[in-house]
Amino acid sequence: MVYQLSFQREIERLKSRFMVLGGLVEDRVRKACAVILSRDPDLLAEIIGSDWEIDEMEIEIEEECLKILALHQPVARDLRLLITIIKINNELERIADIAVNIAKRVQTISKDPALDFSIDYRPMA
């Protein structure tokens, strides 16, 4: 019984950290979209400089999943949950990397005069 409670606690903690990662990635994408128009150098530095935070979280979440898989040998629903978290975790990290790449490109083109966008692209983000 204690073993099962420990397992459930680890799963809940993992899900909580995973949701935090998702929120950070969403915030990073939102900022990358905003910086395209604003070209704010402080925001650019924030996006580019905080890439390590998401990279570290991605590694920690994956390691935690592997630890739970090895120690508890989950089956059925719990196994599917862990595998899903591992796969989405990787994709979230890639999305954050793309947001950083957008910021780096904006940093490069910010030396040129800003273009007037006649189309509002933000709903696509």
Distance between CA atoms of residues 19 and 59, nearest Å = 15
CA distance 125 to 122: 5
Number of Cβ within 10 Å of residue 106's Cβ equals 21
Q: pLDDT tens-digit profile of 83-122?
A: 999 999 999 999 999 999 999 999 998 887 766 666 666 6
- Distance between CA atoms of 95 and 34, rounded to whole angstroms? 16
Q: Taking the domain 10-111, which CATH number applies?
A: 1.20.58.220
25-54 pLDDT per residue, tens: 999 999 999 998 889 999 999 999 999 999
pTM of the model: 0.85
Tally helices (H) and strands (E) across the chain. Answer: 4, 0
Asked if pLDDT for residue 2 goes beyond 70, the answer is: no
What is the per-residue pLDDT for 110?
85
Q: Model confidence over 38-94: pLDDT tens digits?
A: 899 999 999 999 999 999 999 999 999 999 999 999 999 999 999 999 999 999 999
Nearest to 53 by CA among 16, 96, 84, 91: 96
What is the rounded CA–CA span in Å between residue 57 and residue 101? 19
Q: Residue 120 has what pLDDT?
A: 66
Percent of the chain at pLDDT > 70 equals: 88
Amino acid identity, position 115? L
